[in-house]
Amino acid sequence: MILIPASSYTLIFNGAGMKKGLSYCTKCVCFFVILALLISSAYNALKWKDTTGEYLSSVEQLYSTPEGLIDVVFVGSSHCYFGIQPAVLWEKYGIASFDMSVSSQDKNSAYHDLIELYKTQNPSVIYVDLHALSYDKQLVVSNVYRNYLSLKTSPNSIALVNKYVEEEDREAFYLRFPIIHTRYRELQKNDFVEYAPNSFGRGEYITCRAGESWLDLDIVNDPAVGDLSEKNREWLENMIALAEEHNSRIEFIVIPFPVGAEEQAILNAAEEMLAKENYAYTDYNRMTDQLGMDFQKDFADAEHLNVYGAQKLTSLLGEELVKKYDLPDHRGDERYWQWDTDLKWYENTLACQRMSETVDPREYVSVMTDLSDCITLVSLDGDFLNSEIDYFEVLEPLGMNYEEYRTGGKWIYRDGRLEKISENRIGAETYYDFSRYDRIKIAYEGPMNPENIAMGRKTYQGSSPLTFATYDTILEKMAVCRQF
Distance from chain centroid for Cα 372: 21
pLDDT in the model for residue 25: 84
39 Cβ contact list (under 8 Å, min separation 6): none
442 falls in which pLDDT band (50, 70, 90)? very high
pLDDT in the model for residue 184: 87
d(CA 247, CA 237): 15
Q: Mind giving me the DSSP string for 64-90?
A: TSPTT---EEEEESHHHHHH--HHHHH
d(CA 478, CA 302): 28
pLDDT in the model for residue 21: 58
pLDDT in the model for residue 13: 41
Over 23-35, what HEC string results? HHHHHHHHHHHHH
pLDDT, tens only, 322-380 = 999 999 999 999 999 999 999 999 999 999 999 999 999 999 999 999 998 999 999 99
Q: Residue 435 pLDDT more than 50?
A: yes
Q: Residue 128 pLDDT more than 90?
A: yes
Mean pLDDT (the chain) is 93
Q: Residue 12 pLDDT more than 50?
A: no
The H-or-E segment that residue 110 falls in is: helix 107-118
pLDDT, tens only, 218-253 = 999 999 999 999 999 999 999 999 999 999 999 999
pLDDT in the model for residue 1: 45
Q: Are strands 249-254 and 280-283 parallel, antiparallel or unpaired?
A: parallel
22 falls in which pLDDT band (50, 70, 90)? low
pLDDT in the model for residue 248: 98
For range 43-52, the mean pLDDT: 90
28 falls in which pLDDT band (50, 70, 90)? confident
- The larger pLDDT score, comparing residue 189 to residue 108, is at 108
Identify the architecture of domain 58-346 in CATH.
3-Layer(aba) Sandwich (3.40)
What are the boundaries of each domain within the chain? 58-346, 358-483
pTM, entire model: 0.90
pLDDT, tens only, 272-300 = 999 999 999 999 999 999 999 999 999 99
Lateral strand order in the sheet of 458-459: 429-433, 439-443, 453-455, 458-459
11 falls in which pLDDT band (50, 70, 90)? very low
pLDDT in the model for residue 40: 81
- Percent of the residues in the chain that have a pLDDT greater than 70, as a whole number: 95
**What's 152's DSSP letter?**
P
- The larger pLDDT score, comparing residue 29 to residue 72, is at 72
From 136, 148, 157, 147, select the one nearest 233 (Cα to Cα).
136
19 falls in which pLDDT band (50, 70, 90)? low
